[in-house]
Amino acid sequence: MKKSKPEELREVTLESGIKVKPVYGPEDIKDINFEKEIGQPGDFPFTRGIHPLMYCKRPWTMRQYSGFGTARETNKRFKWLLKQGQTALNVAFDLPTQLGLDSDDPFAEEEVGRVGMAIDTLKDLEEAFAGIPIDKISTSLTINPVASVMLAMYLVVAEKQGIPWENIRGTTQNDILKEYIGRGTWIFPIEPSIRLIGDVVEFCFKNVPKFNPFSVCGYHIRESGATPIQEMAYAFEIAAAYIQEVLKRGLGIDDFAGRIAFNFDIHGNLWEQVAKFRAGRRLWAKIIKERFGAKNPRSMVLRMIAGGGGGGLTIQQPENNIVRGAYYALISALSGTQTMALCSYDEAYTIPSKKAALISLRTMQILADEMGLKDTVDPLGGSYYIEWLTDKMEKKIVEYMDMVEEMGGMVEAVKSGTIQREVARQAYIRAKKIQSGEITKIGVNKYEMDEEKAEIEFHPFNPRVAEEQKRKIKEIKKQRNENDVKETLLGLKKAAQSSKNVMPYILKAVKCYATLGEITRVFKDVFGKFEEPIGL
């Protein structure tokens, strides 16, 4: 058989702009200091994993994104997922809740309970976690501008269950800068929004020590169009902005850095994704140690959730997404994630159906219990290609971080709209490459089929949810003590106008069954609303 000549081989360029050779060997990694840059799992700079035994001792947490309609409906799904072997909860809120709107707000019309559960008062969150011992599980509250309010509600639910706050484990997403860049569920201007994040970090340090006060989401930046390199670089610069806010309050880096979490995306080239995470883990350890002066090695570990991204799924031939999801899970495990939240095959159409969520959960369980991913730590460590690519990825992430620093840091880069423009530009470039076939998407631009309507079980939207939520709000307002509500909201307003930490005042308002919308309006009155930069 005639061998291909080297010049006949297709040159591969990764999405990160790195050119890949057909073959790698010892000469490609001769300049890498293995002892210093790679080391052993559990040792600085944690290239090979943040724990010495990783999954050999304990597999990744399995956490499916779930929530829809009313709190009661969501409670049933939570209990069903836990019964199926899920080990944590990842809570989805509807858009009105994410934007601090009550279900009876005119701007909430047609969106109540559509893409997550509706939360208007403490009563809703009580129903969502009824019969679920929240000291036995870890819960991720996937919400941003009003994360402080949702955390307060969660803490009060714990109190009502008789659970001390020091026993509560979980995460608030609470990453507002990526909202300005990507998703768009922002409310307040940048500076007061970051102040609220600082308040949550400070409060958790003093009162809820096992809780992660924010999770930086490179995930949504990547889903909005950023390259894998930009995903990591922008996430680290966002984290640096939050760290600087907290340090101004007098806390030391070792007081809270160990509770910082990250949420990253997975789609695209398998090797590029694995190297991205290994490089990111190594670089983050250096940033915390060298830039911020941490002394405790546990402050330097990059703890992440990663399990696939909806941006990699396709509407065409949706069953192929089951296969994609399995590979995303494999990448996540090979990358050393702590938590896996695997996207479901129908997410290109709708929020996950019960069937799709179960397939994703079983995919993670098969990977852990059948495929040998718990047998040994970092099985790709030492690969000529992986170690070379990890080194290249780290250098390129640093280049992009330097660019952001030259703009004055992430806050200034977002305020000017520079990051938003760059991410939008990359989204356009990627779309054109898929259109031209330069980036292959099976079923979209290769191996296409003439299909009838895809057989997808759409998650039904129930318009009666809004009426039920409106009825509940009316009932609660009749039952609560209005004087107490007014008093606590006034106290919250005064705290927001001062430099006081607002969390104790939010807790008081929540306990009086003030609505999410009422609390948000207090902040709007004090902080105003964010205006997007002109010229995007």
For residue 5, is pLDDT > 60? no
Q: How sure is the predictor about 451, in pLDDT bands with cuts at 50, 70 and 90?
A: low
> What order do you get walking across the sheet with 88-91 strand by strand?
65-66, 88-91, 138-141, 169-172, 211-212
- Residue (of 247, 22, 119, 13) closest to 513 by Cα position: 119
pLDDT score of 536 more than 60: no
**Which of 115, 117, 89 has its CA nearest to residue 341?**
89
Here the CATH number for the domain that contains residue 131 is: 3.20.20.240
Which H or E run includes 336? none
Return the DSSP state at 448: -
- The pLDDT assigned to 1 comes to 47
> What's the mean pLDDT when you consider all of the chain?
94
- 440-477: b (≥16 Cβ within 10 Å) or e: ebebbbeeeeeeeeeebeebebbeebbebbbebbeebe
The predicted-structure confidence for 181-235, as pLDDT tens digits, reads as follows: 998 999 999 999 999 999 999 999 999 999 999 999 999 999 999 999 999 999 9
Tell me which residue of 325, 330, 385, 331 sits closest to 358, measured CA to CA: 325
Kindly state the average pLDDT of the residues 475-498.
Answer: 98
Percent of the chain with pLDDT over 70: 96
Residues 471-485, mean pLDDT to the nearest whole number: 97
Confidence of residue 47 (pLDDT cuts 50, 70, 90): very high
pLDDT digits (tens, 9 = 90+) for 165-183: 999 999 999 999 999 999 8
**pLDDT band, residue 458 (cuts 50/70/90):** low
pLDDT value at residue 535: 60
CB-based contact 338:61 (threshold 8 Å) = yes
Q: Which domain holds residue 399?
A: 54-436
Mean pLDDT in residue range 71-85: 93
Percent of the chain whose predicted confidence (pLDDT) is above 90: 88
Q: Give the integer Cα–Cα distance in Å for 135 and 158.
A: 8
Q: Is residue 284 a contact partner of residue 218, using CB atoms and an 8 Å limit?
A: no
Whole-structure pTM value: 0.95
Q: With 90 as the cut, is the pLDDT of residue 534 above it?
A: no
pLDDT at 457 over 90: no
pLDDT for position 354 = 87
302 within a domain of the structure (yes/no): yes
Tally of domains in the chain: 1
Domain assignment of residue 463, yes or no: no
Rounded mean pLDDT, 230-241: 98
Residue 48 within any structural domain of the chain: no
Residue 4, pLDDT above cutoff 70: no
pLDDT tens digit string along 362-399? 999 999 999 999 999 999 999 999 999 999 999 999 99
Q: Does residue 23 lie within any of the structural domains?
A: no
Pick from 516, 435, 535: which is nearest to 472 by CA?
516
CA nearest to 86, candidates 139, 126, 164, 150:
139
Helices 190-207 & 503-511, crossing angle to 10 degrees?
Answer: 80
- pLDDT tops 90 at residue 461: no
**502 in a structural domain:** no
The pLDDT value given to residue 353 = 84
Is 428 domain-assigned? yes
> pLDDT of 337-368, one tens digit each?
999 999 999 888 877 888 999 999 999 999 99
Residue 488 lies in a domain: no
Q: What would the pLDDT profile of 248-258 be if each residue is shown by its tens digit? A: 999 999 999 99
Tens digit of each residue's pLDDT (9 = 90 or more) over 93-123: 999 999 999 999 999 999 999 989 999 999 9
Cα 378–Cα 230–Cα 275 angle in degrees, nearest 5: 15
Residue 50 has pLDDT above 70, yes or no: yes
Residues 6+ apart with CB under 8 A from 336: 48, 49, 50, 54, 277, 278, 281, 378
- The band of 455, judged by pLDDT with boundaries at 50, 70 and 90, is low
Residue 452 falls within a domain, yes or no?
A: no
Q: What is the pLDDT of residue 349?
A: 81
**Is residue 469 pLDDT above 70, yes or no?**
yes
